[in-house]
């Protein structure tokens, strides 16, 4: 049986840096070497104090000096300028083995300049003579060395430091230094006291731990228990709805998932993503992203590690599901029945099943909740809700999160490779009104039971008809231009029941004859509207702010031209521009924006009244 063809249309003195002798290997803590000897009893005010070893070592490394020749002044406070100097010296020695800084009219300026140039400071301070807080010092010092020199040795959970949140501006720096064993807190709870001024005794310890990893400390902080409201605010943005589609683009099921990394690495149940031809997620802010593939999965554990296209995603901190205990309060987050996201409180009802691969809990879940997050009172994900007993009340199951340790993040595999394909050559054609062009449609399978359907989006602009098949894999598509404009012809491959197996689009530009293309100077290939219409602009305005140029043309001149705005828009498409946005200005006039991503040029068509003259305004800009 032949394929049937159907055609439709439709970062002073008291703290100094001495330059070490010859530079060692760049970018290494081994570059910090002892460049002078500390004489026993040299500083009379540190004897027997907890910080004495740090002052001695810091002095020997050439990083710190005394307030006088015989005193260190441990209780004195540090200024912002001195903190910046220390950071600049640490950075320079780490990368070059020395800290040679020129003298400046203002003593600290060379260090500030270095810190700004090397990213230690993101921006300058208003007063460098101001006293530095502990938070200031943490932010400046944390940027002095790269991440590889500040390797985490402590597992400090997010928000485990009692008075520092990961959401605080200084939070990430403080947590980095705690995790690296450089900061340990001011009491047994790990309290940081971020608003207190930083003292020289503390400075000695921190600086030495930065330079010599053998001085770094281990510390354990229990995760901070959060209220239900705090947990919801922290965790719900990282849990998403996931829609599953078949080869025809039809929604066949839905579930939930959550991010475990800002780069898009996510977790869901295996049964949610199984047999998906394609999938798309929607977050709580309404933004949608494609699932680009799957790294690994376990059918037995019913878990999958997937990748979402994009970056900068909110994500959940992974907790220790092996320590889940009966009676523990938990919260399930997901999209039951594919409806709005829900946040339900529950209890772990039996912990004996955890090592068998299940957390038994009574948090409410329903179909669609699968793949969501089960979080503890610290806001850490400890499980993945997966199923429930239909004939039992609140007997629900979640897969322990530690099971994802079995999954590998190595090769990303697309969900399901397409079975069929269809293409048109060329994908964009230009015809004149009344003329005809021929496009080749290719469907390589040669399956006699498949059908080809073509439809024109705007039947007033063009019409189409399919010709006879050659070897049952190619056939001609005849396109006739009707009137100036642009339209799309969708060519679909359908199964015997009418399901869409594959499709492609053909862009048809129907262009009336007009002036040859002349581009706006400096904005190639943006076509010169006036040259195309055969008219002169009445105004030309260059904006220094954004580098754009606006040309105004009398509306009357445009109307009297042989060409129309529609013709010009068609010309934009021929020059590689596509519609980016269209909206009404405050006067109700349509504004349309077109962009050419290859040349990064934008063209905007709008309307304005200048000196009582109605005008068409064309603006060309680089972006």
- Any idea where the domains of the chain sit in the sequence? 29-215, 229-406, 423-510, 529-622
What is the percent of the chain where pLDDT is above 90?
58
Q: Does domain 423-510 have CATH number 3.30.70.580?
A: no
For residue 58, give the 3-state DSSP assignment.
helix
Side-chain half-sphere exposure of 291, counting CA atoms within 13 A: 34
**Segments in 26-72 forming alpha helices (H):** 52-60
Give 14's pLDDT tier (boundaries 50, 70, 90). Answer: very low
What is the percent of the chain where pLDDT is above 70?
92
Output phi, psi for 241, to 5 deg.
-90, 140
Q: Which fold has domain 229-406?
A: Thrombin, subunit H (2.40.10)
In this predicted structure, the answer to whether residue 251 has a pLDDT above a threshold of 90 is no
Nearest residue to 160 via CA among 177, 142, 175, 181: 175
In this predicted structure, the answer to whether residue 513 has a pLDDT above a threshold of 80 is no
Q: How many CB atoms lie within 10 A of CB 156?
A: 22
Question: Cβ distance 533 to 618 under 8 Å?
Answer: no
Pick the more confident residue, 419 or 154.
154
> Using a CB cutoff of 8 Å and minimum separation of 24, what contacts does 589-594 make?
594/569
Nearest residue to 453 via CA among 438, 475, 433: 475
Give 567's pLDDT tier (boundaries 50, 70, 90). Answer: confident
Strand partners, 567: none
**DSSP code at position 274:** T
Side-chain half-sphere exposure of 351, counting CA atoms within 13 A: 13
Please tell me the predicted confidence (pLDDT) of residue 157.
80
Give 24's pLDDT tier (boundaries 50, 70, 90). Answer: very low
Residues 6+ apart with CB under 8 A from 565: 558, 605, 616
Sheet of 601-610: strand order equals 539-542, 549-554, 613-622, 601-610, 590-596, 578-584
Mean pLDDT of the chain: 88
Give 21's pLDDT tier (boundaries 50, 70, 90). Answer: very low
Nearest residue to 436 via CA among 466, 481, 475: 481
In whole angstroms, what is the distance from residue 391 CA to residue 121 CA? 61
In whole angstroms, what is the distance from residue 182 CA to residue 196 CA? 18
In this predicted structure, the answer to whether residue 484 has a pLDDT above a threshold of 90 is no
In whole angstroms, what is the distance from residue 75 CA to residue 353 CA? 55
Q: What pLDDT digit, counting tens, does each position of 84-110 carry?
A: 999 999 999 999 999 989 999 999 999
Give 416's pLDDT tier (boundaries 50, 70, 90). Answer: low
Question: Cβ distance 373 to 274 under 8 Å?
Answer: no
Please tell me the predicted confidence (pLDDT) of residue 20.
41
End-to-end CA gap in the chain = 54
For residue 347, give the 3-state DSSP assignment.
strand
Nearest residue to 609 via CA among 570, 565, 556: 556
Question: Cβ distance 523 to 576 under 8 Å?
Answer: no
Strand partners, 423: 442
Q: Where are the beta strands (DSSP E) in 312-458?
A: 317-318, 329-334, 342-350, 359-361, 373-375, 380-388, 396-400, 423-425, 428-431, 436-442, 451-456
Q: How far is CA 103 from the centre of its chain?
A: 42
Sheet of 462-466: strand order equals 423-425, 436-442, 474-481, 462-466
In this predicted structure, the answer to whether residue 162 has a pLDDT above a threshold of 80 is yes
Nearest residue to 90 via CA among 152, 151, 156, 16: 16
What would the DSSP string read from start to end of 385-401?
EEEE-TTSSS-EEEEEG
Name, of 7-16, 97-106, 564-573, the range with top average pLDDT: 97-106
Least confident of 412-416, 436-440, 540-544: 412-416
Pick the more confident residue, 345 or 351.
345
In this predicted structure, the answer to whether residue 500 has a pLDDT above a threshold of 60 is yes
Please tell me the predicted confidence (pLDDT) of residue 563.
80
Q: What pLDDT digit, counting tens, does each position of 605-620 carry?
A: 999 999 999 999 999 9
Q: What is the pTM of this model?
A: 0.47
| Rounded mean pLDDT, 500-505 | 82
Side-chain half-sphere exposure of 525, counting CA atoms within 13 A: 14
Burial class from Cβ neighbours inside 10 Å (0-12, 13-18, 19+) for residue 457 reads middle
Look up tokens 């400071």; give the residue.
121
Q: What pLDDT digit, counting tens, does each position of 266-307 carry?
A: 999 999 998 788 899 999 999 999 999 999 999 999 999 999
Does the N-terminal peptide bond of residue 559 adopt cis geometry, omega within 30 degrees of 0? no
Strand bridging mode 278-282 / 317-318: unpaired
Give 60's pLDDT tier (boundaries 50, 70, 90). Answer: very high
Q: How many residues does the chain have?
A: 623
Nearest residue to 335 via CA among 233, 396, 254: 254
Helix orientation angle between 134-142 and 80-96, rounded to the nearest 10 degrees: 20
Joined tokens for residue 272 = 């949610």
In this predicted structure, the answer to whether residue 388 has a pLDDT above a threshold of 90 is no
Question: Cβ distance 558 to 616 under 8 Å?
Answer: yes
Pick the more confident residue, 70 or 483.
70
Cα dihedral sign, 96-97-103-108: positive
**DSSP code at position 207:** H
Strand partners, 472: none
In this predicted structure, the answer to whether residue 1 has a pLDDT above a threshold of 50 is no
């Amino acid at each position: 049986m032949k394929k049937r063809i159907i055609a439709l249309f439709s970062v002073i003195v008291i703290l100094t840096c001495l330059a070490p002798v010859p530079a060692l290997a760049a970018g290494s803590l081994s570059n910090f070497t002892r460049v002078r000897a500390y004489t026993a009893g040299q500083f009379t005010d540190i004897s027997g104090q907890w910080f004495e070893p740090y002052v001695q070592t810091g002095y020997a490394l050439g990083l710190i000096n005394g307030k006088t020749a015989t005193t260190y002044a441990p209780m004195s406070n540090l200024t912002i300028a001195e903190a910046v100097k220390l950071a600049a010296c640490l950075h320079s020695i780490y990368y070059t083995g020395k800290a040679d800084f020129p003298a400046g009219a203002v003593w600290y300026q060379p260090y500030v300049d270095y810190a700004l140039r090397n990213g230690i400071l993101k921006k300058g301070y208003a007063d460098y003579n101001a006293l530095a807080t502990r938070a200031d010092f943490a932010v400046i010092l944390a940027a002095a060395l790269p991440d590889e020199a500040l390797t985490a040795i402590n597992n400090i959970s997010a928000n485990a430091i009692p008075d520092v949140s990961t959401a605080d501006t200084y939070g990430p720096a403080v947590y980095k230094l705690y995790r690296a064993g450089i900061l340990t807190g001011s009491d047994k709870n790990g309290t940081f006291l971020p608003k207190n001024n930083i003292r020289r005794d503390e400075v000695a310890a921190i600086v030495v731990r930065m330079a010599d990893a053998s001085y770094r400390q281990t510390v354990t902080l229990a995760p901070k228990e959060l209220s239900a409201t705090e947990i919801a605010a922290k965790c719900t943005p990282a849990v998403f709805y996931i829609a599953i589609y078949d080869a025809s683009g039809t929604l066949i099921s839905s579930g939930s998932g959550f991010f475990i990394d800002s780069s898009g690495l996510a977790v869901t149940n295996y049964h949610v993503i199984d047999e998906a031809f394609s999938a798309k997620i929607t977050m709580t802010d309404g933004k949608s992203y494609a699932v680009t593939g799957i790294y690994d999965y376990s059918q037995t554990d019913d878990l999958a590690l997937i990748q979402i296209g994009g970056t900068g995603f909110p994500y959940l901190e992974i907790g220790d599901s092996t320590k889940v205990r009966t009676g523990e309060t938990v919260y399930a987050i997901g999209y039951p029945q594919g409806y709005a996201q829900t946040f339900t409180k529950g209890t772990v009802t039996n912990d004996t099943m955890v090592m068998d691969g299940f957390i038994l809990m009574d948090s409410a879940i329903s179909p669609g909740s699968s793949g969501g997050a089960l979080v503890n009172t610290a806001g850490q994900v400890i499980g993945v809700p997966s199923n429930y007993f239909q004939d039992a009340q609140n007997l629900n199951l979640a897969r322990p999160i530690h099971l994802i340790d079995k999954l590998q993040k190595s090769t990303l595999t697309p969900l399901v490779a397409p079975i069929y394909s269809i293409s048109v050559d060329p994908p964009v054609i230009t015809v004149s009104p009344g003329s005809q062009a021929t496009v080749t449609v290719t469907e390589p399978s040669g399956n006699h039971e498949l059908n080809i359907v073509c439809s024109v989006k705007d039947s007033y602009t063009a019409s189409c008809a399919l010709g006879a098949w050659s070897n049952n894999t190619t056939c001609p598509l005849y396109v006739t231009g009707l009137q100036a404009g642009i339209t799309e012809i969708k060519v679909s491959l359908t199964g015997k029941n009418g399901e869409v197996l594959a499709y492609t689009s053909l862009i048809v530009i129907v262009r009336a004859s007009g002036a040859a293309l002349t581009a706006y100077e400096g904005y190639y290939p943006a076509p010169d509207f006036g040259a195309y219409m055969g008219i002169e602009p009445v105004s030309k305005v260059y904006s220094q702010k954004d580098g754009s140029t606006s040309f105004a043309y009398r509306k009357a001149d445009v109307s009297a031209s042989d060409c129309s705005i529609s013709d010009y828009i068609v010309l934009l498409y021929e020059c590689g521009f596509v519609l980016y946005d269209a909206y009404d200005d405050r006067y109700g006039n349509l504004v349309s924006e077109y962009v050419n991503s290859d040349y990064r040029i934008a063209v905007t068509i709008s309307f304005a009244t200048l000196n009582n003259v109605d005008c068409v305004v064309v603006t060309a800009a680089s972006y």
